[in-house]
């Protein structure tokens, strides 16, 4: 009888394992492991982070430690909550929808990059060739590169954001190759060159004295004030970055021959012409009295609409078509207007 006790005990134990209390069956865990599948959204995020200089791993669509670390670096650089997750705030900062769908290729996004980036290096090289950047071509995005982008955007009449937007990228690629530009400061020695600089500084609001073609203390102070206001080296010299910020092409300064008619006009005169171009629908900028690329392009469009030589330069025929008297277009005066209506 004693020998039956262990056998009965084992039987009851086996029965208890096979049918636990409650009668529910036991399901063993799956023994197979499903490998993570690539995601188009992750691939798109990796691509954007790579272009921005935060990710240098494989763009395979797989979320892993490298991708998460890149997201954290991006979040930290943008002042976002560092979670390592691709939340809506992070996705918006990456200029993507919250889902980061890959229906369209990501647009170039250049921002503060902690590591060298080939895209930033190409941008620096291009800006250097065009005379807008004289820093190190190291692929690291910093204040000097951003300032160079802003000078290029200002020179081309683009929105001055300091970011490498698609329009800025296209303008950089389309810009004609510049002639070799010396890193030394240009010299404005002849009266025509000095007067050109003085008039431009006056248009920009930094020079109030007469444009007499003589480089004196007032011109020097005005140039240094301009450099300080634009975050440039306050050398008081016409360096390539200074010329670019003023709207000049560094490779073609000092200008050969006489200055353009617009550069010799008083800001009040320029402002009046800008207002007329805006009234006629050719100019959408501010009538600020500073003649730049946007004003010149507006004038060229007006000339083309009137079957005139579309060079963006003032001449008697253009002024007459605008309704101004070219014989009385003197600096410091508001241009006289003809009484005849201008054809629209």
- Same domain for 254 and 288? no
Q: Tell whether 111 is covered by a domain.
A: no
Average pLDDT score over residue span 24-30: 47
What's the start-to-end Cα distance of the chain, in Å?
121
Of residues 296 and 254, more confidence is placed in: 296
Specify whether the CB–CB gap between 181 and 240 falls below 8 A: yes
pLDDT at residue 342, as a whole number:
42
* Confidence label for 249 from pLDDT (cuts 50, 70 and 90): confident
Q: Are residues 230 and 268 in the same domain?
A: no
Provide CB contacts within 8 A for 114, sequence distance 6+.
Answer: 53, 54, 73, 77
Please check whether residues 254 and 277 belong to one and the same domain.
no
- Tokens 């080296």 correspond to 233
How many C-beta atoms surround the C-beta of residue 91 within 10 A?
18
Tens digit of each residue's pLDDT (9 = 90 or more) over 170-188:
888 887 655 444 445 556 6
Q: Check which CATH number belongs to the domain holding 316 and give it.
A: 1.10.101.10
**Mean pLDDT, residues 239-261 taken together:** 70
Tokens of 285: 């900028």
Residue at which a domain ends, from 174, 204, 221: 174
Pair 273, 299 in one domain: yes
**Inside any domain, residue 253:** yes
Domain boundary among the residues 259, 284, 305 is at 259
- Residue 278 lies inside a defined structural domain of this protein: yes
Q: Residue 324 pairs with which residues in a beta bridge?
A: 337
Work out the average pLDDT over 217-246: 86
Give the CA-trace dihedral at 61, 64, 66, 72, to 10 degrees. Answer: 100
* Paired tokens of 220: 């020097």
pLDDT score of 339: 39
The answer to whether residue 315 sits within a structural domain is yes
| pLDDT greater at residue 99 or residue 316 | 316
Residue 132 CA to residue 248 CA, distance in Å, equals: 11
* pLDDT beyond 50 at 114: no
Among 21-25, 28-32, 86-90, 145-149, top mean pLDDT goes to 145-149
Give percent of the chain above pLDDT 70. Answer: 69
Give domain status of residue 221, yes or no.
yes
Residues 195 and 254 in one domain: yes
Mean pLDDT of the chain: 73
Tell me the C-alpha distance between 291 and 203, whole Å.
7
Q: Please report whether residue 185 resides in a domain.
A: no
In SS3 terms, 183-209 reads as CCCECCCCHHHHHHHHHHHHHCCCCCC
- The angle subtended at Cα 233 by Cα 191 and Cα 51, nearest 5°, is 120
User: What value does the mean pLDDT take over residues 72-82?
Assistant: 86
For residue range 121-145, what is the model confidence (pLDDT) as tens digits? Answer: 888 888 888 878 888 888 888 888 8
28 lies in some domain: no
Q: Is residue 196 part of a domain?
A: yes
What angle separates helix 217-229 from helix 191-203, to the nearest 10 degrees? 50
How many structural domains is the chain composed of? Answer: 4
Instruction: Indicate the residue among 259, 292, 315 that finishes a domain.
Output: 259
**Segments forming the whole domain that contains residue 83:** 40-93
Predicted confidence band of residue 10 (pLDDT cuts 50, 70, 90): very low
């Amino acid at each position: 009888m004693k020998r039956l006790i262990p056998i009965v005990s084992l039987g009851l134990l086996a029965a208890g394992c096979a049918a636990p209390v409650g009668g529910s069956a036991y399901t063993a865990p799956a023994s197979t492991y499903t490998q993570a599948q690539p995601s188009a959204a992750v691939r798109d995020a990796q691509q954007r982070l790579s272009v921005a200089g935060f990710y240098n791993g494989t763009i395979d669509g797989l979320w892993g430690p490298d991708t998460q670390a890149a997201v954290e670096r991006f979040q930290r650089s943008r002042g976002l909550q560092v979670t390592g997750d691709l939340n809506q705030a992070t996705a918006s900062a990456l200029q993507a929808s919250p889902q980061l769908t890959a229906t369209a290729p990501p647009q170039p996004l250049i921002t503060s990059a902690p590591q060298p980036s080939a895209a930033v290096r190409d941008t620096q090289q291009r800006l250097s060739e065009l005379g807008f950047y004289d820093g190190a071509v190291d692929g690291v995005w910093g204040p000097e590169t951003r300032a160079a982008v802003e000078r290029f955007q200002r020179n081309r009449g683009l929105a001055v954001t300091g970011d490498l937007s698609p329009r800025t990228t296209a303008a950089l690629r389309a810009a004609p190759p510049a002639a070799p530009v010396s890193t030394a400061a240009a010299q404005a020695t002849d009266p025509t060159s000095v007067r050109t600089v003085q008039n431009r500084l006056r248009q920009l609001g930094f020079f109030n004295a007469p444009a007499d073609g003589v480089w004196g203390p007032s011109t020097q102070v005005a140039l240094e004030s301009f450099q300080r206001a634009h975050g440039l080296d306050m050398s008081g010299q016409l360096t390539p970055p200074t010329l670019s910020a003023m709207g000049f092409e560094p490779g073609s300064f000092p200008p050969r021959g006489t200055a353009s008619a617009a550069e010799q006009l008083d800001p009040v005169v320029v402002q009046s012409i800008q207002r007329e171009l805006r009234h006629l629908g050719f100019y959408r900028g501010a009538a600020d009295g500073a003649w730049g690329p946007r004003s010149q392009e507006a004038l060229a469009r007006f000339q083309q609409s009137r079957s005139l030589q579309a060079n963006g330069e003032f001449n008697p025929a253009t002024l007459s078509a605008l309704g101004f008297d070219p014989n009385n277009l003197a600096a410091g005066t508001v241009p006289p207007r003809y009484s005849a209506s201008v054809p629209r």
